[in-house]
Amino acid sequence: MSRLRLSLLVLALLLTIAAHSSSVVAQDHVTVQPRKVVIHRSAKQAAGFPERRNATVRYPIVSGLSDAIVLRRIQNMLSMKNVFGSTLPEYRRNPGLLEFDYKVNYNKNYLLHITFTEDAEGAYPTTSTKHVLINLKNGKIIRASDAFNPDSLTTLARLVEPKLKAEINELLQTNEEDKSADADAKKWVRDELTKLKYGVRNLDNFYADDKGVTFLYDAGFPHVIQALAPAGDYFFTYAELRPYIKGNGPLGVFK
């Protein structure tokens, strides 16, 4: 009987350890569920623009972390107000919004990357995009100084800059070959493009997955010349970035 009792205690202990181990492993990702709301507007609100009568809003509900403080921080960060600056009631009152949506691109290795998009219609139809890369260990947005060695940021920016310049050169050629624009318009576009620079301050805008890191660049062009703005997506493999990655940082697992 004593041996049986001892065996049962050992089995219970092993099951407890296994369950604990499973819960620890599970913490390297979160559960993301969509919540969808359809906004219906009155004929008066959408006067002259029937496509604005309805708008679809789909936003993420995050759960699955045992650390309540970190989870609450992530939930707050991914709230609609913190994405594009508007709450759901404000979107209801805004007749220009057509769709608000998101996509989970990466959710493991303690990294959560979500892309938000906002389609709206005002003087021009516009699509806004925002990438959010979160460290699931602390619930904070990952900055360049978190992921890369601080003393290498200048060198890293110089690594990205040629890709921006190559894209600018292609756009300058397209601009010069545009037979529909007059000389003044071409000069204006050329001046705007040649002003663009890539520096350390731009490194904070990036996302990561199993393959590597994509640095993002927003030229901030007005709508009238957005078609001639750089796409601003510059990908690097972890092999290329290994000398710059902070070993104890959120990308250390890929070093």
The verdict on 135 and 153 lying in the same domain is: no
CA torsion angle 53 103 240 252 (round to 10): 140
Burial degree of 148 (CB within 10 A; 0-12, 13-18, 19+): buried
Per-residue confidence (pLDDT) for residue 222, from 0 to 100: 80
Are 123 and 158 in a shared domain?
no
Looking at the structure of the chain, the number of domains it has is 2
The answer on 243 and 222 residing in a single domain is: yes
Helix axes 183-194, 153-177, angle to 10 degrees: 170
Q: What is the mean pLDDT, run by run of 10 residues, along the chain of 255 residues?
A: 51 46 62 95 78 91 96 96 93 89 98 97 86 97 97 98 96 88 87 95 97 96 82 97 97 95
Residues 137 and 152 in one domain: no
* CATH number, domain with residue 85: 3.30.565.40
Residue by residue, DSSP assigns 208-220 as: E-SSEEEEE----
- Same domain for 35 and 120? yes
- Do 100 and 200 have their domain in common? no
Taking alpha carbons only, the member of 218, 227, 221 closest to residue 130 is: 218
pLDDT of residue 15: 47
Same domain as 193, residue 127: no
**Max CA distance (Å), the chain:** 97
- Rounded distance between C-alpha atoms, residue 124 and residue 96, angstroms: 10
pLDDT on residue 8: 47
Assigned token pair, 190: 């050329």
DSSP state of 245: B
Interstrand relation of 111-121 and 97-108 (parallel, antiparallel or unpaired):
antiparallel
Domain-located, residue 10: no
Element (DSSP H or E) covering residue 233: strand 233-237
Residue range of the domain that includes 248: 146-254
Residue 211 covered by a domain: yes
